[in-house]
A = this chain, B = another copy of it.
C-alpha cells in the first residue's frame, strides 16, 4: 500500500494553505494533496470571471507553490476513510495510508428541496468547479434576463458582473436588506442604492416561491404572486459543508452539520484535522456555533492545522471565526468585521456604536477621493470593539483588516482614542479627521 505522512483531502484555499504550511513546518514529511479538480478556482474570484477577468483561465489557483515545495498532488477522489487503520480508499487508484489527515472537503451550493424548478435548464448555482462555471458562462451568453436569488456577497457580486455584460439582472433577497449578515441596515442601504444605480433591479424582503418553466427556465414566481421573466436563474443562497466522507468515517458532526474541530483544528480523532468550509466554526466573540464560510478564515484554519500536526502550540490556535468581509461595487469598497450592531444586540450585548463619515484622502481635492464611513460597535461594559463596518474607496479592504486586528487583540475604545496612525494625502484620510478614530470618539462620548 502507498503511504504518505500528511494527507490533505481537498485542494481549494484551505487544502492548498494546509499543504504549504505542513510542508514548511515539517520539511522531512511527505505531504500529499488529493483533490477532485484538475484545475482549481480562486474561490473569491469566481463572480469576477463573468464581467471582469472574462474567463476562468484567469482565475486559477496555481499549483506552482505546492510543486516547488515538493508536495504531491493527486487528482482523484477519496471514497472512504478508515481511521482505525489510517487508510483512505481512493476511487481510481491504490489505497493510501496516512500518518496525519487533514479534511478540507469544502462546501457545495445549497439547492433548497422545497423550491420547485431547480432542476430546470438554465438554473445555476456557483460551485468552485471550473468545468461547471465554463459551461454556465457559455450558456449565460445567450441569456438576456437573469434572476439572481440570494443577496449575500456572491449574489451581489455576480449580479453586478452580469449587469456589466448588459444583462437585465433582478436580484431577489428574502431578508429586508442585501448583505444583511455582514452589515447593519444603514450600511446595507448604501450598497443597495449603489447597485441599483448601476442598473441591477433589486427586490428585498421577498422570497421566491417557485422557479417557473418547462424543460428550460422561463421565470420566477415570488411569494407575493408576482412573476419575473427570466432566461436564467442563479441560486446564491448559501453553501452546505461537505461532510459525507467524514461522517461515514465516524467523525463527529455538530448541530449545524460541520465536522467538529477544536482550536488546533483536531477532530475527535487525534490524527485527523478538519479545516475550511466543512469544519466547525465558533464565533470569536459569542463562542456560539457559526455558519460563516470564508476563504480567508479557511486559510487561517489551514495554517493552524498545518502548524499543529505533530506538535501542539498554545500560541498557534484558532480561537473562533471573526467574519471579516470586503467587497467592491465599482469603485466603492464595502467591508465589515466582527458583529453587526443588530447581531450583537440580539446576542445580548449591551453595545454602544459610533459612526463617522469623512473622506479617504486629504485634502478632498485629491483626484481619487471617496467618501469613507466607519461604524464601530463596542461593548458597553468594557469598551472592547465587537465589530466595525466601512463604506469607502478601495482602501476599505485593508482598513477593515485594521479593525480585524483590533478585534483579535481585544482592543478597546481607549486604545483607539490613543492610537497612532500613519496618514498621507494620496493614501488615507487626514490624521485630524481619520474616520476610524472619529467613530471611536463618537462611541466615547456616548459612554460618558
Contact = CB atoms under 8 A, between A and B. Distances in A.
A322 B422 CA distance: 9
A411 B409 contact: yes
Which label, helix, strand, loop or mixed, suits the secondary structure of the A interface? mixed
A409 B417 contact: no
Contacts of A399: 398, 401
Interface string A54-72: 0000111100000000000
* Copies assembled: 2
A297 interface: yes
Nearest to A412: B315
A42 B423 CA distance: 12
A418 B318 contact: yes
A420 interface: yes
Contacts of A417: 303, 307, 316
Please indicate which of the listed interface residues A20, A398, A405 has the most CB atoms of chain B within 10 Å of its own CB: A398
A121 to B, nearest CB: 30
Given A297-B420, A404-B420, A428 B398 contact: yes
Contacts of A300: 418-421, 431
A317 B418 contact: yes
B362 A42 contact: yes
Contacts of A48: 366, 425-426
A166 interface: no
A365 interface: yes
Please indicate which of the listed interface residues A313, A396, A419 has the most CB atoms of chain B within 10 Å of its own CB: A419
A333 B405 contact: no
Given A45-B362, A415-B408, A445-B24, A326 B397 contact: no
